[in-house]
Amino acid sequence: MRLDKFLADMQLGTRSQVKEFIKKGLITVNGDIVTKADYKINELEDSITCKGVSLSYQKYRYFILHKPSGVVTATKDNRDRTVMDLLPKELSKDFFPVGRLDKDTEGFLLITNDGDLSHKLLSPKKHVAKTYYVECNGILNEEKIQKLKQGVDIGDDKPTLPAEIRVIHTSESTYVIELTITEGRFHQVKRMIQAVGGEVTYLKRLSMGGLSLDETLAKGAYRELSMDEVERLKRN
């Protein structure tokens, strides 16, 4: 791998920025200062430092994004701003969002370059749990709660799988719940609520695969997952 690509992949800056670091003699490879951006390294074996700080290459990386409303979950879009536009340009080439949140839906979104993990998290056979905070118009009663728990007909070949529900608030015309599902059908939460006579007015994903949204992240902000979080995600 070229040295400048390695440094850019490590999020030390853009290609032009890391080339300046190299030119200024701030990068060492196996103890020797390297001043050529196209210097070839073995990213898995060579010892590389930037300003004296050791760098360890990771083939796969994982980020949690607090998706805001108004951006689409895609790598590119000709009309709207995408979730990838919220991340550094260095991540625009090989990284992608895992799954899809509607344009008006907020919350937990995983960004990675690990295609195998993405496939497993999205596989219908894996039944990965996803929890949503849902504000609705309509009336919620015990009969409707039981229908959602058991699975409802949303117009597909099969009813939805059983869901878990925690009722947070109810009134004469509105209600708020937390809904945990183990599928990822198109507009599933909205269609489930519609199937019991309600209408979703606000939707936010709280968790996926055992990882919860980091509430310290502002909308549109992101952070890299810790190794413990990555292992937890893989186990789930």
Q: Residues with catalytic annotation?
A: 102
Q: Report the C-alpha gap between 68 and 189 in whole angstroms.
A: 18
- 154, two tokens: 């949303």
DSSP 138: S
Cα angle 193-194-196, degrees, rounded to a multiple of 5: 70
CA 53 to chain centre: 29
Q: How many CB atoms lie within 10 A of CB 6?
A: 22
Name the strand (E) or helix (H) holding 50.
strand 48-50
Q: In terms of C-beta density within 10 A (0-12 exposed, 13-18 middle, 19 or more buried), how is residue 72 classed?
A: buried
